[in-house]
Every structure is written in C-alpha cells, then in structure tokens.
Amino acid sequence: MNITDPLAIFFFVLGLVLGSFGNVLIERLPKNKKISGRSQCPKCKKQLGNLDLIPIVSFMLLQGKCRHCSERISNQYPLVELGSGILFVIALLITPVSVFSAIFLAVILWLMLIMSVIDVKTHTIPDALNIPFVILAIIYSYVTGYIPILAPLIAAGFFFAQWRMSAGKWVGSGDIILAAGIGFLLGNWEYVLVMLGVSYIAGSLVALPLLFFKKKGEKEHLAFGPFLAIGTLVVLMWGDLILRILI
Ligand SMILES: [Zn+2]
C-alpha cells in the first residue's frame, strides 16, 4: 500500500469529512447540545452554507474568517480535519488484516482524536465517545486476532489505582475507561507498558516547560487523554521496534 493509492486517497477524504463531523461533536457534546442541525457562526449566528463546510478548503478560501462578520475561525477546525484525514491513512497503512479492519481502526483513532481535543478543552471525556471506543476496540481485537484479557486489565488497573489513591484528583474516571479500550486495542501487556512509558514521557515534555514558565500551577490538572492517544499511536506504529530495542 502506497499513500498515492486511490484507496489511501479515499481514506484521507473520508477522514477529512469525519474530522469535520468531529468538530461538531467537540463543540456540542460537552454542552449537551443536539448533534443534528446546521452549524452557525458563534458570533453572528448566521447558519453556515455548503460552501463553508468543505473540510480544510473552506477555511483556506475564507482565510480563517466568518463569511458574514469576519470573526476569526479557530485553527482547531482545519487541524482536527487534517489530523483525522492523516489518522485514517495511518489506519489503512498499519492494520494487519483487511480494509474492513482498517475502517474499524480508523474510526477508533478518530474517536481518540475527538476525545483528546474535548479532554484538553473541558477536562472530561464524554461517555458517549468513551464507551463506543471500548466496544470498537473489542471488536477490532476480535477481527484481527483474539480478545485480550490481561492488557486491558493492566491498563485500566493502572489508572484505577491512581484514581482510588487520589480520590479522583490525579486522573479522571474517563481515563480508566479510555485505558481499558487502549488495552483491548493494543492486545498484549508489553505494548501497554510501552504505551504508558511513551505517554508519560510525552506528558512530562509538555508539563515541565509549563510548570517552569508557571503557565500551570503544580496542582492544576493536565488533561492526560491526549498523551494516552499519542502513546497508543506510537505503539501501533512502532511497538515491535521499540520492544526489540528494549528487550
Ligand atoms: Zn459570523
């Protein structure tokens, strides 16, 4: 499979479109708003037309501003669309079995992206995304081999222990569910340990400069969802290589 393959281009476009839908979920899920219905400009409240809703392209044509009131549109929109497109192509390139399993993996990675952005913005991970993520991860593990037991237990147990010890201060209950899903996705416990290692290294690389420059107080909570997502992606792409180097 090559990234200029028509199938890869199809996955990329599908990812862009789902990324656009992801932006709708990011805006509306935390506020318990209806998912259906047209998007509008948050400032002038004018409904967006079809030409305003083409992933990436609209943002570039409008130069990042609302057509009606020139209010700046957040970079989050094109970034989530592009990220989603890239994740769809990655899913196609790394899935071990078939196009069918690639679609599952693509949606799983897409869910992790959406949950990560919501976690950064609101410090919660909605169950409306978390639970489907776990279910899809179980199905994916079944389609590509077997449903693991130890990996999800270790991943979820690690966060459950921290959640219990800190009475929910260090990690949220959403992290436990997310970690269980990641355990099912990765399948073996060695991968889970590497994922945790990479997540904590990535987390420290972000947290230490923030602490140093006092942008975040020591007691403030850094959303951990995005780092779990990064750790998971790294293990999915290079897990075998990392294990070979470590062992
Ligand atoms: Zn506007």
Answer yes or no: do 118 and 151 share one domain: yes
Which whole-number Å values give the CA distances from 205 to 111, 155, 210, in the listed order?
A: 24, 22, 9
pTM of the full predicted structure?
Answer: 0.93
Asked whether the beta carbons of 108 and 84 are under 8 A apart, the reply is: no
Residue 41: give the domain boundaries: 1-94
115 and 226 inside one domain: yes
Same domain, yes or no, for 134 and 231? yes
Query: Are 82 and 18 within one domain?
Result: yes
Tens digit of pLDDT for each residue in 108-151?
999 999 999 999 999 999 999 999 999 999 999 999 999 999 99
Domain-terminating residue out of 63, 94, 125: 94
What is the arithmetic mean of pLDDT over 170-175? 87
CA proximity to 129, closest of 152, 113, 151, 145: 113
CA of 73 from ligand 1 middle (Å) equals 9
pLDDT at residue 22 above 70? yes
Alpha-carbon gap, residue 198 to 234, rounded angstroms:
8
Question: Where does a domain end: 74, 94, 114?
Answer: 94
Contact at 8 Å (CB) between 18 and 25?
no
- Who surrounds ion ligand 1 at CB < 5 A? 41, 43-44, 66, 68-69, 71
CA 159 to centroid of ligand 1, rounded, Å: 42
Q: What is the distance in A from the centroid of ligand 1 to the CA of 40? A: 8
